[in-house]
Amino acid sequence: MKAFKRHWWKVGLAFIILLMGLIYLYLRPYQPSLDALSAMQSTDEITVSDEEQVIRFEPKTPVQPSIIYYPGGLVKPESYATYAKAFAQAGHRVYIVKMPLNLAIFGGDRAQPIIAAKAADETFLLGGHSLGGVMAARYAAAHASELEGVFFFASYPDPKGSLVSSNLPVFSIVGSNDGAINMAALTKAKSDLPNTAEYHTIRGGNHSQFGSYGFQKGDHPAEISAEQQLDETVKLLLDWERSVVHPTKRSQ
């Protein structure tokens, strides 16, 4: 008994290490694909900076607005580099936010330092994928005056992120083969969005292909390629931005 008392701390430490290991295995994030890692590389036109709390995609000649992107739950932020690179190629500065434990619920306010450090003429769209969209909406609901619009990729707001009175343009897109999202909740959440919100469905698209990290548990197989889903999503969001957020761009 005395020997046990002398070494009880070792038993406790072993238990803590085991518990942390089990938590890590349970919360092990989805990793970026090779395509996503390739998109993390800078080019002559786009500089990619991997910073402490954000991955920044900086076009040589940025246009407004910049895009702040909240990742989906348990998905590494680099997994969205293919989307960020595509938006940057269209001239938009993009910030992929890094979340504590890869869960946006622990970093819902991480758009704030980006906005606080903005360039003189910089404006912002804020959105995200899955859980990232939920938390982006919560931030937008509390800071509507800081933003020009909100977008949801396979996501929707909860009541804490209601944007009905925000006067913000809203864009929502989902894949028809999405098996990870609760479609009934998606429909119900429209009551937390303004009547002017714009909705789109990508035929054959799924949940996982709004990023580049492989197949997500619970999802349904896509009937289109990841490249096609990316291209359609980027085009639709940019068309919305030009026609709704900045309608004067249509004549430029």
pLDDT in tens, 159-184: 999 999 999 999 999 999 999 999 99
116 membership: H or E segment, kind and range: helix 111-116
Give the domain 32-251 fold.
Rossmann fold (3.40.50)
Residue 84's SS3 state is helix
Please report the DSSP string for 210-230 in residue order. Answer: GSSSSPPTT----SS-HHHHH
Compute CA distances 5 → 14, 82, 232, whole Å: 15, 55, 64
Tell me the domain boundaries of the chain: 1-30, 32-251
pTM: 0.89
pLDDT in tens, 117-167: 998 899 999 999 999 999 999 999 999 999 999 999 999 999 999 999 999
Q: How many CB atoms lie within 10 A of CB 119?
A: 10
